[in-house]
């Protein structure tokens, strides 16, 4: 056995081949370690993106539109994930996009109706074969008259939004003693 080792170690070319083979194995180990680290970083990046998307569309984090002060209520339930129609004295917003001035939309509701129709059409395209639930969340400023709010609520079923959720601040007092 010692003769074979001496024979391999004796040749300069054989030493070169052994050293080259050792270097290849060392390089392969370094590549594998680098790939494992890269895939771990990719996995954590995907996890972070997933968590951000999940929590950003969560109804608990629903943003109250600018200029809207929600009324307080003694009892409440958690809002379902649905488009948000926000009414204030200054304007009307659908999913945080300005639709028009409140009084102008009461006189001519066509811009609001077209936006609601676009939302319904988009939902039908993204959920083929399912029936449209018609859910919408309504954020109305507490200073608006109930007649104004009810007029907007009366417009919603015309575009198949029949399930209206009113947004309120939970645990508040309604003025009774």
Domain boundaries, the chain: 2-56, 59-170
- pLDDT classification of 26: cutoffs 50, 70, 90: low
Tell me the whole-structure pTM to 2 decimals: 0.56
pLDDT surpasses 80 at 156:
yes
Q: Which of 65-79, 81-95, 149-163 has the lowest mean pLDDT?
A: 65-79
* pLDDT on residue 48: 92
What is the 3-state secondary structure of 34-59? HHHHHHHHHHHHHHHHHHHHHHHCCH
**3-state class percentages of the chain: helix first, strand second, coil last, to nearest 5:** 55, 15, 35
pLDDT digits (tens, 9 = 90+) for 97-148: 888 888 888 899 899 899 989 988 988 898 888 888 888 888 888 888 888 8
What Rg, from alpha-carbon coordinates, does the chain have? 32
- Cβ contact 97:65 at 8 Å: no
Long-range contacts of 114-118 (CB under 8 A, 24+ apart): 116/156, 116/159, 116/161, 117/159
pLDDT surpasses 70 at 29:
no
């Amino acid at each position: 056995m010692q003769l074979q080792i001496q024979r391999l170690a004796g040749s300069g070319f054989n030493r070169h081949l052994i050293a080259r083979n050792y270097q290849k194995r060392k390089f392969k180990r370094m590549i594998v370690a680098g790939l494992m680290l890269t895939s771990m970083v990719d996995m954590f990046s995907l996890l972070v993106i997933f968590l951000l998307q999940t929590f950003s569309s969560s109804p608990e984090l629903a943003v109250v539109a600018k200029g809207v002060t929600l009324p307080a209520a003694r009892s409440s339930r958690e809002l379902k994930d649905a488009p948000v129609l926000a009414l204030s004295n200054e304007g009307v917003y659908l999913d945080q996009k300005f639709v028009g001035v409140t009084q102008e939309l009461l006189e001519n509701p066509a811009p609001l109706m077209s936006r609601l129709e676009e939302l319904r059409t988009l939902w039908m395209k993204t959920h083929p074969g399912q029936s449209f639930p018609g859910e919408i969340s309504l954020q109305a400023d507490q200073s608006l008259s109930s007649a104004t709010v009810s007029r907007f609520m009366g417009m919603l079923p015309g575009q198949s939004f029949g399930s209206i959720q009113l947004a309120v601040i939970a645990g508040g007092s309604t003025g009774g003693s």
